[in-house]
């Protein structure tokens, strides 16, 4: 079994599936595996590299995941340290490195010590076929205008599309057991049927810095399907990243129309560019209500929150509410333990 994995590319859905496959195999091999996650854009290189070499006090095997390596330069201390590590890896450590970029920072010789997988976004025709197949597995067929509505409503990766398809199928299966075909109006109805049912309307509330509305939205999402909190956080992160890119394009002198066409949420040449009219208002509100420094800090904060939210279980909704409070009220300046204190004071 391989000890080191490198997962590359912009297709987050397939990449997430591969990550879960690796994790299942590791825990089947060593059920007492101790797991830690780090973020290249926030955790220090020395902390990550030191952790790789430290023996565990509680388990014979460790799984260490390093996320968002696209945020660091190829000549950074972290990358240099990882290049040295793969040449002489610890026998009790499984290492998974993840980047949205499609190019490896390892040499051909270094890659002999690891398993590399690259996940590219599929061509439009392949996405369309994938959407049809996914609906078919749920015993639904889907019209052309419904596919178009899906592709224009979410980020074009399988993680986002799968979440929406599952929501659509669940909604119409519960509403009408005889319904077998989903059309464009059905998709639009589910997306907009009540305030707060997707990450984009949540982002708009956060962009307005309206805490009350944002909390109502996240309660609505959790009430309808608590499992969607993870994908909601992902959408929120992508929208802040898109706003950050939109600000950069504006500083370069691009017009509003050009910004709407070119802005993207992940810095890779394979990522679909631009945002539709449903997202426009939220992105421009965010540009007005948060500074460039605020947005950069919030992105790091959201990326760090991802692992905590996945581990939160029944406390996920409460954690998300604290996260929204810290973003809207404090622009993500305070740590989580400070948020709890402030909320307790506020509620007394």
Which long-range CB contacts under 8 A does 210-213 form with residues at least 24 apart?
A: 210/328, 211/324, 211/325, 211/328, 211/329
pLDDT for the residue 223: 67
pLDDT of residue 269: 37
Rg (the chain; Cα; Å): 21
**pTM of the shown model:** 0.49
Q: Per-residue pLDDT tens, the chain, 348 aa: give them.
A: 789 999 998 877 788 889 999 999 999 999 999 988 888 876 688 889 999 998 877 788 999 999 889 888 888 999 999 999 999 999 899 999 999 888 899 999 999 999 999 987 767 677 888 899 999 999 999 998 899 888 877 766 777 788 788 878 888 888 888 899 999 888 888 776 654 568 888 999 999 999 988 988 888 788 677 778 888 998 899 999 999 999 999 999 998 888 888 888 764 433 457 787 778 889 999 999 999 999 999 999 999 898 888 877 778 888 999 999 999 999 998 654 444 444 443 333
The crossing angle, in degrees rounded to 10, of helices 184-192 and 158-175 is 90
**HEC string of the chain?**
CCCEEEEECCCHHHHHHHHHHHHHHHHHHCCCCEEEEEECCCCCHHHHHHHHHCCCCCCCCEEEEEECHHHCCCCCHHHHHHHHHCCCCCCCEEEEEECCCCCCCCCHHHHCCCEEEECCCCCHHHHHHHHHHHHHHCCCEECHHHHHHHHHHCCCCHHHHHHHHHHHHHHHHHHCCCCCEECHHHHHHHHHCCCCCCHHHHHHHHHHCCHHHHHHHHHHHHHHCHHHHHHHHHHHHHHHHHHHHHHHHHHCCCCHHHHHHHCCCCCCCCCCCCCCHHHHHHHHHHHHHCCHHHHHHHHHHHHHHHHHHHHCHHHHHHHHHHHHHHHHHHCCCCCHHHHHHHHHHHHC
């Amino acid at each position: 079994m391989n000890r080191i994995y490198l997962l590359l590319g912009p297709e987050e859905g397939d990449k997430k599936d591969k990550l879960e496959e690796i994790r299942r195999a590791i825990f089947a091999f060593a059920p007492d595996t101790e797991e830690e996650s780090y973020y290249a854009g926030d955790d220090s290189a020395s902390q990550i590299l030191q952790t790789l070499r430290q023996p565990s006090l509680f388990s014979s095997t460790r799984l260490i995941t390093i996320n968002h390596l696209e945020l660091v330069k190829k000549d950074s201390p972290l990358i240099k340290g990882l290049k040295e590590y793969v040449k002489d890896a610890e026998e009790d450590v499984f290492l998974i490195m993840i980047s949205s970029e499609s190019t490896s920072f390892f040499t051909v010789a270094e890659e002999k010590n690891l398993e590399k997988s690259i996940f590219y976004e599929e061509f439009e025709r392949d996405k369309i076929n994938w959407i049809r197949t996914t609906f078919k597995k749920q015993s639904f067929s889907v019209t052309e205008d419904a596919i178009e509505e899906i592709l224009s409503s979410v980020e074009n990766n399988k993680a986002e599309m799968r979440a929406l398809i599952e929501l659509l199928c669940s909604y119409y299966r519960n509403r009408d057991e005889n319904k077998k075909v989903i059309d464009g109006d059905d998709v639009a109805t589910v997306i907009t049927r009540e305030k707060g049912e997707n990450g984009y309307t949540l982002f708009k509330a956060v962009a307005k810095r309206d805490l009350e509305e944002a909390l109502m939205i996240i309660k609505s999402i959790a009430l309808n399907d608590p499992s969607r909190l993870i994908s909601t956080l992902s959408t929120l992160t992508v929208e802040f990243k898109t706003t950050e890119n939109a600000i950069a394009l504006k500083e370069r002198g691009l017009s509003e129309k050009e910004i709407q066409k070119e802005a993207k949420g992940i810095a890779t040449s394979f990522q679909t560019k631009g945002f539709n009219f449903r997202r426009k208002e939220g992105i421009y509100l965010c540009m007005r209500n948060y500074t460039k420094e605020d947005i950069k800090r919030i992105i790091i904060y959201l990326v760090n929150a991802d692992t905590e939210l996945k581990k939160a279980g029944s406390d996920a909704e409460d954690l998300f509410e604290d996260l929204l409070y810290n973003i809207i009220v404090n622009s993500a300046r305070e740590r989580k333990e400070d948020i709890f204190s402030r909320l307790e004071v506020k509620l007394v």
